């Protein structure tokens, strides 16, 4: 029980600081940043050539990614002590390592940033789906749905990007991959923190 | 799936569709506009007034907010007898009604929009704080923290706006009120989806 509370708290905080970190870095970014035309990673640094980065957006983004990655790896360790489901734990650790990689290698460091981002998106989508092995209804279906949305969007973006690019841009597409994963992560955290009953209520 | 699980699912989905609608509306927002210079709730309206936008973000935003409000009202109705303390039910209903109002009254409909926005943000943050008494740790402290962050940011934005607007603009400030509430709501929903299923659930190989 204690392990699940710890892992739940870490998963929840990881999801929350990533989302709040992105919003804050966007707010600090100079005018011209667009959630349509800019990738999330541009908050850390834009791609080469002519890479640019702006403070404090860059530091905020890179730090929260690094911290969130460490939290996900630690949380996976704690929850694995309880569930022992490798099908979830392996992609979850890879997801955490991907986040750490995104934090260490900003967008200007090719190809490392691209590799870390791909690992984050793919492993994140897969572990959201495989988390059904440790969840009960109805959240297990939510997890499968959110992981599927993230993976499907990622595949469309990679193999048939023209279908989405003109509507929501590269920024919108990337957010439709990242946000479902982060919202699932946040939900998984709170789910694991639940002690199984509410206090002071009748059921 | 019991009644509490269903309420949890509704809370979770309400939060998710609001956050998804914001990022989608942001993506549809014309590139020449800085979204963080604009109030989150007025995002569609302010551009419509200038005649610049032809994109559907305003409609997306208003419909989603309306639906999410109805979901929160339904979830709170399901839990009305379980919330022994009136503050929980009152703030839960207030939060849902505020969102429904925001869906009905876009930013140009003053003062109705402002009233519903204020009700939403205050009731939402107090709802988060007041669940402190019914959820267990560590989530009780997270509820307290997220509700307090939203309430404090709102208070600073109202009484000393320049101290925040200078750094993160109006859009960033409003997001620092709305996002903590929405993230907590997603968490509270997930928490409820696991309620009445202890961690010794059938999926656990090694109960502790």
pLDDT tens for each residue of B131-180:
988 888 899 999 999 999 999 999 888 888 777 777 777 777 888 899 99
Place of tokens 């009233």: B115
- In tens, the pLDDT along A113-142 reads 889 999 999 999 999 999 999 998 899 999
Q: How far is A67 from chain B (nearest CA, A)?
A: 18
Q: Is A34 on the interface with B (CB under 8 A)?
A: yes
Contacts of B208 in chain A (CB under 8 A): 1-3, 82
**Burial of B111 per CB tally in 10 Å (0-12, 13-18, 19+):** exposed
Counting runs of H as helices and runs of E as strands, what totals does chain A give? 6, 0
Question: Are the beta carbons of A137 and A81 closer than 8 angstroms?
Answer: no
For residue A104, what pLDDT is reported? 93
- Closest-CA distance of chain A to residue B25, Å: 9
Report H helices in A105-161: 112-130, 139-159
Q: In degrees to the nearest 10, what's the CA dihedral of A188, A190, A192, A196? A: -130
Residues of A in contact with B172 (CB under 8 A): 23-24, 26-28
CA distances from residue A49 to A37, B107, B139 in whole angstroms, order as listed: 17, 41, 45
Q: At how many degrees (to 10) do helices B112-130 and B86-104 cross?
A: 150
Chain A neighbours among B 138-157 (CB < 8 Å)? 138-139, 142, 146
**Contact assignment for A194 to B191 by CB distance below 8 Å:** yes
A84 CB within 8 Å of a chain B CB = yes
Given B85, B186, B192, which is nearest A183 (Cβ)? B186
Q: Are B4 and A198 in contact (CB under 8 A)?
A: yes
- Whether B206 and chain A come into contact, CB under 8 Å, resolves to yes
Query: Is A194 in Cβ contact with B31 (below 8 Å)?
Result: no
CA distance B208 to B201: 11
pLDDT in tens, B6-42: 999 999 999 999 988 887 777 776 655 555 655 555 5
Indicate yes or no: pTM above 0.80. Answer: yes
């Amino acid at each position: 029980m204690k392990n699940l509370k710890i892992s739940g708290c870490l998963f929840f905080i990881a999801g929350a600081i990533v989302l709040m970190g992105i919003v804050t870095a966007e707010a600090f970014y100079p005018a011209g940043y667009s959630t349509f035309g800019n990738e999330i990673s541009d908050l850390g640094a834009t791609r080469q050539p002519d890479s640019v980065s702006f403070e404090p957006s860059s530091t905020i983004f890179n730090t929260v990614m690094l911290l969130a990655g460490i939290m996900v790896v630690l949380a996976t360790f704690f929850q694995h002590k309880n569930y022992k489901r490798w099908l979830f734990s392996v992609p979850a650790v890879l997801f955490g390592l991907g986040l750490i990689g995104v934090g260490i290698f900003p967008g200007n460091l090719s190809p490392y940033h691209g590799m870390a981002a791909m690992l984050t998106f793919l492993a994140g989508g897969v572990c959201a789906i495989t988390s059904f092995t440790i969840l009960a209804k109805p959240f297990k279906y939510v997890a499968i749905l959110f992981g599927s949305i993230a993976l499907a969007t990622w595949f469309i973006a990679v193999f048939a990007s023209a279908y989405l690019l003109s509507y929501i841009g590269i920024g919108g597409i990337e957010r439709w991959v990242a946000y479902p994963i982060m919202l699932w992560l946040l939900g998984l955290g709170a789910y694991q923190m639940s002690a199984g009953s509410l206090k002071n209520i009748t059921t | 799936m019991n009644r509490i699980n269903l309420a949890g699912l509704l809370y979770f989905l309400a939060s998710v569709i609001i956050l998804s609608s914001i990022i989608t509306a942001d993506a549809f927002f014309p590139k020449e506009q800085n979204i963080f210079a604009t109030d989150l709730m007025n995002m569609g309206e302010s551009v419509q007034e200038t005649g610049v936008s032809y994109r559907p973000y305003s409609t997306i935003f208003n419909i989603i907010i309306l639906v999410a409000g109805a979901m929160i009202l339904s979830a709170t109705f399901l839990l009305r007898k379980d919330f022994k303390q009136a503050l929980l039910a009152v703030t839960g209903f207030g939060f849902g009604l505020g969102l429904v109002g925001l869906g009905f009254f876009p930013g140009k409909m003053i003062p109705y929009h402002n009233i519903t926005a204020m009700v939403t943000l205050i009731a939402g943050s107090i709802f988060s704080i007041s669940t402190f008494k019914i959820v267990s740790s560590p989530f009780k402290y997270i509820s307290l923290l997220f509700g307090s962050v939203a309430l404090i940011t709102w208070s600073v934005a109202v009484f000393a706006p320049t101290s925040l607007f200078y750094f993160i603009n109006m859009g960033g400030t409003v997001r620092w009120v709305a996002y903590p509430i929405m993230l907590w709501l997603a968490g509270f929903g997930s928490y409820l989806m696991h309620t009445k299923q202890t961690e010794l659930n059938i999926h656990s190989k090694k109960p502790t």
